[in-house]
Amino acid sequence: MQKFTRRYIETAARILFFAAACVCVLCVALICVYLLASALPTIAKIGPLAFLGGSRWHPSAGEFGIFPMMIGSLYVTAGAVAFGVPVGLLTAVYLARFAKRRTAKVLRPLVSLMAGLPSILYGFFGLVVLVPLLRNLFGAGKSVLTASLLLGIMILPTIISVSESALRAVPAQHYEGALALGASHERSVFFVVLPAARSGVMASIVLGIGRAVGETMAVIMVAGNQATLPKSIVSGVRTMTANIVLEMGYATDLHREALIATAAVLFVFILLINLLLSLLRGRNA
């Protein structure tokens, strides 16, 4: 009787988990189908080259070129990764392998608190602190640089928490074996433990990039929102997400359809980034 009950429970749990996985896949598939079905006719109507390669976004004049927003999203995301990944990864290594227990107990809740802060609070911080600071240093407050730094700060909790968990999941034998061969504590951590946690670290980077690409409210407050190609890192910029949020409230007809097509391009953009990082992770495995 007990064996039958246990088998019944295991079968029910397996079916439940499978159903939950199917729901997740179905949701992603529905989003993908809806965006592509809505975007492809619009892109064909505007023209693929005019839409994806056009440098002018003037809906009132019938110009819907999103190339400046695509480049702006790339610049801001690359800047956020360049700042957030090294800082977040080093912080994770410190918390996992170097920090004392009391210090780690203080820092981990702070990292969790950063992850729970709303985007609007980060935006206010950037507007009140970063914008005036960078304006005094470079003469331009709302810019690619400001948005990159702010997004770099915002992705820190994701990178730190996931990377630290990956580092702590590495078997102790890796570290102890390196010490037994004469390696120092630092070399054992950076040349043995960290490479062993590569998969989890790459996952944290993917999640951080997804947060950076999809962030809207904080970027709107500090990026300048200029729908032109940025000439330098201190130029104003408008990302694809900001473009959608700023204009969707009053857009109609082809303008609205162009914004939905922009969302589809953003979706494909994120998929390509995830695919590229997955291929890179598989090659380095």
pLDDT tens readout for residues 193-210: 988 888 888 888 888 888
**Mean pLDDT, residues 214-243:** 85
Mind listing the pLDDT tens digit for each residue in 95-140? Answer: 998 988 888 888 999 998 888 888 889 999 999 999 898 888 887 7
Number of H helices, E strands in the chain: 15, 2
Summarize the chain as % helix, strand, coil (round to 5): 80, 0, 15
Q: Residue 263 is inside which H or E element, if any? A: helix 253-284
| Domain edges within the chain | 2-51, 68-284
Per-residue pLDDT at 18: 92
Per-residue pLDDT at 175: 86
Question: What is the residue whose two structure tokens read 């004049």?
Answer: 61
CA-based angle 43:44:47, to the nearest 5?
75
| Per-residue confidence band for 80, with pLDDT thresholds at 50, 70 and 90 | very high
- Contact between residue 238 and residue 263 where contact means Cβ atoms under 8 Å apart: no
Per-residue pLDDT at 285: 55
Q: What are phi and psi of 224, to 5 degrees?
A: 100, -30
Q: Please give the structure tokens belonging to residue 141.
A: 């407050």
- Contact between residue 274 and residue 188 where contact means Cβ atoms under 8 Å apart: no
Query: Hey, what amino acid is at 198?
Result: R
- Contact between residue 163 and residue 200 where contact means Cβ atoms under 8 Å apart: yes
Question: What is the residue whose two structure tokens read 């949020």?
Answer: 245
CA–CA distance, 115 with 161 (Å, rounded to integer)? 9
- Decide if pLDDT at 212 tops 80: yes
Mind listing the pLDDT tens digit for each residue in 49-60? Answer: 888 888 888 888
Radius of gyration from C-alpha coordinates of the chain? 23
Per-residue pLDDT at 272: 83
CA–CA distance, 152 with 135 (Å, rounded to integer)? 19
| Count of residues making up the chain | 285
Q: Please give the structure tokens belonging to residue 153.
A: 């700060």
Q: Please give the structure tokens belonging to residue 235.
A: 């130029």
- Decide if pLDDT at 92 tops 90: yes
Per-residue pLDDT at 206: 85
| Per-residue confidence band for 28, with pLDDT thresholds at 50, 70 and 90 | confident
Quote the distance between the C-alpha of residue 199 and its chain's center. Answer: 17
Question: What is the residue whose two structure tokens read 């429970």?
Answer: 9
- Decide if pLDDT at 40 tops 70: yes
Per-residue pLDDT at 17: 92
- Contact between residue 184 and residue 201 where contact means Cβ atoms under 8 Å apart: no
CA–CA distance, 219 with 150 (Å, rounded to integer)? 8
Q: Residue 82 is inside which H or E element, if any? A: helix 67-93
CATH architecture type of domain 68-284: Orthogonal Bundle (1.10)
When the pLDDT of each residue in the chain is averaged and rounded to a whole number, the result is: 87
DSSP state at residue 58 = E
Q: Please give the structure tokens belonging to residue 198.
A: 């590569």
Instruction: Pick the most confident of 78-87, 180-189, 206-215, 221-230.
Output: 78-87
- Decide if pLDDT at 180 tops 90: no
In 3-state terms, what secondary structure has residue 227?
A: coil
